[in-house]
Structure formats: C-alpha cells, structure tokens
A and B are shown apart, each in its own frame.
Chain A
C-alpha cells in the first residue's frame, strides 16, 4: 500500500529537524527552509538558505534534513541558495517566542547601524523582562548572537541579532 505524500506533509516532517545550536527552534521556525519541490516518486528537493555566510550549523542541518526524510523513506536532495538573502524577518513569531522562553532575546528592529555610537537598540531581558539592559559585546557565542547583561536582575544573556 502506498500513500501519496504531499509537500505539506514534508513541511510537517521538517518541523522535527531542530537547529543544532538552539534546539528549541526548528529549521522551519528559522526560515531556513525556503522550498519543498517534488521531483518524482519519492524524490524531493529541499531548498535551504544559510543564515550567516560562515554558519557552521548549515552542514549539520543539511545532513539532518536528509536523515529525517530518509526515515520516512523519502529521498531528499538539499540545495543551498543564497538569494534572496536570509533575514531575521523570516523567523516565525512562534520561533521568536520559543527563543525568549529558551533565554535568548529575539531580534528587535534595530537602529541605523551606519550611525556610529548612535542610539542603542533596546533589548528586553528574556528572564525578568526589564528593558534596562546593556550590550557587553556586539559579537557573542555564535555568528548570529550578541552578548548582553540585564542591569536589573544582573543575569547575562544572548541576543539574536537583527539581520536585514
């Protein structure tokens, strides 16, 4: 007995593939999966786009996608496209909520970067929700994150940088 699998089914299965660095997020939440195309029979093409140019997680994500779909007897080939360029705008609202619950401040609309020493982006603390926070470093534990500290509760936290 064969069941006809649809693209919608594949999107659903891909929700099982977690981001290796932030395992509460799925690759679908991140907006990394762009297209799901049927080739023929049980062969499908998954189109993904990298977040940052040097992101080392992309290779793992590619392998995890192939592995997960193989478990459903689907032969997937994964293609990486650069255009249109990934932006944090593509992170789902649900994804942003999950980030915050995990303790990483989700991306905020940022002030103009070309203004040096300009107004600072207000990043609320994911733990105590205070807006009284300060940036420790523009560059954090991974390419996508900056390092912040809450002045009220004193806890340090990661901020997922806005990339537009």
Chain B
C-alpha cells in the first residue's frame, strides 16, 4: 500500500463516518420530539454533512481519478463505505440517537484535537475547523445523556438499554490497521490508542452523573473500516443514493 492509497482510505473513513451519521440525523427532520430538538438534530446533521464534504473533496483530489465529492458520497456500493458500525445503527428513539451521538462526539473531539497537529495541512485545517462545531455537539449530547439518565424511571431505563446496546460499537472507534500505521509513521494520522484512556474517562464521567452504567465485557463488533457492514447500511444507502441512481448525472 502506498502512502497515497493509505491517505485516500483514511480520508474515506473520516468522510463516511460524518456522512452516514449526518444522514441518520437528517432522518429526524420533521419527527423530533420537540421543535427545538428537531432543529438541533438537523443542525448537527448539516454540520456533519458539511464536514464530510470537506473530507470527500480532499479524498477526490488525493485519488486523482476524476471523481468528485458527489461521486464518492453517492455512487459507491456498501463494501466501499468505510464508516464505523456505530454511525449506521438506526436512530431508535430520541434517547438512542443521543447515546449514539454522545459516544461518537467524544471520540471526534479527541481525534480532531490531535489531527489539528497533523503534518498534512489539509487534514489539520479540516480538523481545526470541524472541532469548533463538534464542541457544540458534545455539549448538547452530553447534557441530554444526563437529563435522560438522571430523569424519569422510563427515560433512565430506555437510555440504559440504548447504552448497553451501542456499547458493542465503542472499541471499533479505536480500530487501526495498516492504513493508520503507515500514516502515523509520517505524522499524518494520530495513534488513537493514545487517547483511548482519556475517552473512557470522559464518557464515564458523564455516564456516572447520568446514573447510568457501561456494561463490562460485551462482545465488540467491527468490520466497518474494511467495508463489512451491518445489514442497516444497505437500507440506508438505498435512501441516500436514490436520486443519483434514479437520475444519473442530475444537478439542482
């Protein structure tokens, strides 16, 4: 694997995480539990899709095969998407969406803090810009975890179930392989194992205050970074890609 190939893969992973999560959040449009949260979730979606656009534009430039950000976002098939499994999980109820967001926001925050120091200028630029928005996401999801966890008996039970369920996808956030190894060597990527302890400490602090608990030793799932996804991604892509597949080459 050349550095260029590794960089392209690395950028797809970043772009796909944001695109797929952004898409999931956009599904809440018009269905939020209250107006303010409908707007909040779609605002988050917009931020994430904007970030994914930046990652895709850079990936297209690196690939240098005449594909642009739209081709990459909408015209690949499931095994070519490299997002983690967490972000493709269905929204479930509001609490599940919040838990998913909470687990991902804390990761993105720590990841972007380090990517701001990347030797790759464009990666550093995207990280520096995105982290300003991620800080708002983080506050929003963390505060909701506390409100729902330390809420009514029903809200507590529901988010506890969601946390137990989605905790199976935490380890994959820190998955690294030859793509990362190559780029860590040249100072382009960061070693996620370096902030794994900090991540666990940060989420645990919020989980404790929310009177929730993180189950120990649950079987962890992965495969997303290699394009091996849960069945959910197929259904997600049929919606995401519908317009581009039905009307190839369409433009607004």
**Which positions in A face B, CB cutoff 8 Å?**
50, 52-56, 81-87, 113-114, 116-117, 136-141, 143, 147, 161, 163-164
Contacts of B47 on A, CB cut-off 8 Å? 52-54, 143
Interface residue tally for chain B (C-beta within 8 Å): 34
- Measured in the bound complex, the distance between the Cα atoms of B46 and A114 in whole Å is 22
Specify which of A86, A114, A136 is in contact with B129 (CB 8 Å cutoff): A86
Contact A83 B43, beta carbon cutoff 8 Å: no
The answer to whether B136 has its CB under 8 Å from any CB of chain A is yes
Contacts of A54 on B, CB cut-off 8 Å? 46-51, 53
Q: What are 20 sample pairs from A and B whose C-beta atoms fall under 8 A apart?
A: A52-B46, A52-B47, A53-B47, A53-B50, A54-B53, A56-B46, A82-B128, A85-B129, A85-B132, A86-B129, A113-B135, A116-B206, A116-B209, A117-B146, A137-B36, A138-B136, A139-B39, A143-B46, A163-B133, A164-B132
Interface locus among B81-89, B117-125, B184-192, B234-242: B117-125
Given contact pairs A113-B139, A116-B206, A163-B132, A138 touches B46 in the complex (Cβ within 8 A): no
Contacts of A140 on B, CB cut-off 8 Å? 39, 43
Question: How many cross-chain pairs have Cβ atoms below 8 Å apart between A and B?
Answer: 87
Contact A53 B130, beta carbon cutoff 8 Å: yes
Contacts of B121 on A, CB cut-off 8 Å? 83
Contact B36 A147, beta carbon cutoff 8 Å: yes
Contact A53 B139, beta carbon cutoff 8 Å: no
Contacts of A161 on B, CB cut-off 8 Å? 136
